[in-house]
Amino acid sequence: MTEVVCWTVWVEVMSLTKGDIGGFEKRKDNGFKTSLSKATFNYNLTHVFCVVLILFLTYQVIQDRGGQLENNNQVQHLNRESFVQKLVPTAQRLQKQYGVLASVSLAQAMVESDFGQSQLAANYYNLFGVKAEAGDPDGVDLETKEFVNNEWITIVDRFKVYKSWEDSLIKHAELIFYGTTWNAKQYQAVLEAKDYQSQARGLQSSGYATDPDYAEKLIAVIEEWKLTQYDQ
């Protein structure tokens, strides 16, 4: 940006003074023309000063906004890191108890709850988008997106309400371990997998989520945040 300002100023000076300075030298024998040339030259210098001032102020605004954006990104990262660290102890304990890798549970919570910022996670402690029966008193009706017939649609569905994020993590691990009410081995592919890629793909192949890119999103988050460091 500094180079742009300097180049712009140089071009402006050359374009505004090129003819007038020469005219001043050539016409100094004529008093009227000399005075006119001086006035023109002074006007051009004022014009250049204004251009420099505007460019400088613009540069400062850009710098301030860039710094503010960087600070916001740092704050967001710290908030997300704090969210992850709150879940790590429970995720590790549940891995030992139920066999779901901590990295996979953490990635699911991060993706599905937007690092705890979604309405469902922030207000109802539901980290995984777990749905409830239509008449479940411990549920809440909210809008959600589902991938149906090769397109995303918005529907209203009923979701579970939990007492805490820890409670949500526990219920999620139990679901994977014990399966659904209609199929006890619903997530057997997840439990049999021994690495995060296989468990992530096992979740998708078992019908855990409708998102066709669900497994790859989990894998990408695990690798970006180095979540395997929490696996035990």
**C-alpha dihedral over 90, 94, 97, 103, to 10 degrees?**
-130
pTM score: 0.68
- What pLDDT is recorded for position 188? 97
User: Residue 71: its pLDDT value, please?
Assistant: 64
Closest CA to 180 of 130, 110, 232, 218: 130
**What are the mean pLDDT values of the chain's consecutive 10-residue runs (232 residues total)?**
51 52 47 58 64 67 58 77 97 98 98 95 95 88 84 90 97 97 96 97 95 96 98 91
3-state secondary structure of 144: strand
Assess contact for 48 and 14: CB atoms under 8 A.
Answer: no
Give pLDDT, residue 163.
Answer: 96
Report the pLDDT value the prediction gives residue 27, as an integer from 0 to 100.
47
As a whole number of angstroms, the distance between CA 99 and CA 87 comes to 16
* pLDDT computed for residue 173 by the predictor: 98
For residue 121, the tally of other CB atoms under 10 A from its CB is 22
pLDDT value, residue 19: 47
Q: Is 160 helix (H, G, I), strand (E, B) or coil?
A: strand
Q: What is the pLDDT of residue 75?
A: 75
Scored b (16 or more CB within 10 A) or e, 34-49 reads eeebeebbeebeeebe
CB-facing half-sphere around the CA of 26: CA atoms within 13 A: 6
